[in-house]
Structure 1
Amino acid sequence: MNTLSIVIPALNEAENLPAVMASIPFAELKDEGWEAEVVVVDNGSTDGTGDVARLLGARVVNQPARGYGNAYRAGFGAATGDIIATGDADRTYPFDALPRLLRTLVDHDVEFMTTNRLIGGNSEAMKPSHSLGNHVLSAISRTLFRNELRDSQSGMWVFRRYVWQRLDVRSTGMSFSQEIKNAATRAGYRYLEIPIEYRKRGGQVKLNAFRDGTENLRQLFEHNFRRTRPVPRPVPRTVAATVAHEYDRI
């Protein structure tokens, strides 16, 4: 069996976790040869998020130091799978698409796969101000890092665990999302971006658009000028762009 760790950071998401866990297609993953574990990182919740996650069969990692990046560091450190998949605990990301994403990862020998939410069919799931901010940050990120990623802020990734073990990712907050993508592509790993369905959030919105956007902008420039030793790769960095056409209909 191939091994998969699904890492989900969670801050006060007890009401959303039952739907999130129910959306993970464990039976289909098993049929396709994947032994899957779910690692929920309780990032200092006060609503019993950790207890709910345990009752639903997840392994819970406590990370009291608040922050998106801090949560993922703890989750990745605890993950045992050779492949790691991520997504938020707010019902926005399509965990039911994991079998398809994993097939693409394997069939095309991708090392780091990220996803693009900024497509027409998802416009109603995101506030116009958040969509604009995502487009602006993604455009700046593409210009600085030359990786052609359309959505630098997406929180759903599927990647080989060794990629994380070899990256220098420093962000503790929301900018972790863009930094891990830019670090992986700059290091030379074979990468691919796939469009996905993005859904309306359940519960309270925790994103502070101005604060997080400003910090993400600062981090982009700090990261761009950081000295990073590239990882030698025996094959070209990018997977053929034609792969994306398989996902024109999501």
Structure 2
Amino acid sequence: MRTLSIVIPAFNEAENLPHLMPLIPADELRRMGWETDLVVVDNNSTDGTGELARSMGARVVFQGERGYGNAYRAGLDAAHGDVIATGDADCTYPFDALPHLLATFEENQLEFLNTNRLLRSNRGAMKVSHTAANHVLSGISRSLFRNGLRDSQSGMWMFRRYVWERLNLRSGGMAFSQEIKNAATSAGFRYAEVPIEYRPRGGEVKLNALPDGVENLRQLFAHRFRKVTPVPVSHVIRERSGSSLPESLGAV
């Protein structure tokens, strides 16, 4: 039986974990032939996030250096699944949709799957200013990297473990999210993007919108002119506009 690692970075998310953990569909994944390796990264929390996650059955990795990218580095290094899925601990991402996402991932023989939150149906879950900033950053990212991804800032991805092992990522903060997508697509891994439901955040908002946005913009241009080592065999797939069905994924 293969293993799906689910890596969740968490900083002071004790309030949200009791709502999040029941969404992990371990039984359904097992029926599909996948064991679940749930990894919660305690990013130096002060509210008992790590202890609570451990008591609820997660494997907890501690990362004392705060930062979104730093948390992910620790969690992804510790993950041992054949495939790795990610999502934030703030209850915004649909972990209950993982079986559907995994089926799409496998049916299309993908190596990296991104998710798109920036749909009209999700507008109520995100502040207008954050929605606008996400569209701007995603548009600039598409222009620079020519990968067609509509949501460069999404925090839910799925990829094969060897993808992580072959990327050289540098960001320790929020820019990690766009960096991993742009690095994977630039390297030539087979990829796609599908829309997902995005839900209102639980608990305290921790995003520092202006400084994070400026740093993401800086990182985009720095990354664009970084040397990339291509992956030998390349067959790139992306989402065609307006559909979430597997058959909407076509070769570029």
CA distance in structure 1 between the partners assigned to 2:223 and 2:239 by the alignment = 27
Change (3 A) 1:157 1:240: closer
Aligned-pair Cα RMSD in Å:
1.5
User: What is the CA-CA distance between 1:240 and the residue it aligns to?
Assistant: 6.8
1:112–1:190 contact (8 Å) kept in structure 2: yes
Unaligned residue ranges in structure 1 (runs of 5+): none
Offset, 1:245 = 4.0
- Structure 2: 5+ residue stretches without partners: 248-252
Assess, with a 3 A threshold, how the Cα gap between structure 1 residues 239 and 144 changes in structure 2: closer, same or farther: closer
Q: Which residue of 2 aligns with 1:237?
A: 236
CA–CA distance in 2 between the matches of 1:42 and 1:35?
22
Task: Report what 2:96 is aligned to.
Answer: 96
1:48-80 CA-to-partner distances (Å, cap 9, x unmatched) read 000100110000000000000000000011101
Structure 1 stretch displaced more, 21-30 or 149-158: 21-30
What's the counterpart of residue 18 of structure 1?
Answer: 18
The verdict on how the C-alpha distance between 1:26 and 1:243 changes in structure 2, with shifts beyond 3 A counting, is farther
For the residues of structure 2 that align with 1:137 and 1:156, how far apart are their CA atoms?
A: 17
Give the distance between the partners of 2:81 and 2:124, measured in 1 at CA. Answer: 34
Tell me the CA shift for residue 102 of structure 1.
Answer: 0.3
Q: For the Cα contact (< 8 Å) 2:193–2:239, is it kept in 1?
A: no
Query: Quick check: 1:74 aligned with 2:74?
Result: yes
Aligned to 1:188: 188
Q: Deviations over 1:136-174 (max 9, x none)?
A: 000000000000000000000011000010011110000
Percent sequence identity is: 66
| TM-score w.r.t. length of structure 1 | 0.96
Is contact 2:115-2:151 (8 Å) kept? yes
Matched, 1:131 2:131: yes
What are the equivalent positions in structure 2 for 1:108-187 lying under 5 Å apart?
Answer: 108-187=108-187
2:44 counterpart residue number: 44
TM-score between both structures, scaled by the size of structure 2? 0.95
Count how many residue pairs are aligned between Structure 1 and Structure 2. Answer: 247
Contact kept? 2:63, 2:70, Cα under 8 Å:
yes
**CA distance, structure 2, for counterparts of residue 3 and residue 183 of structure 1:** 24
Q: Secondary structure at the match of 2:110?
A: coil
Query: Any conservation in 2 of the 1:110–1:239 contact (CA below 8 Å)?
Result: no
Q: Aligned partners of 1:239, 1:222: CA distance in 2, in Å?
A: 24
Amino acid of the structure 2 residue aligned with 1:238:
I
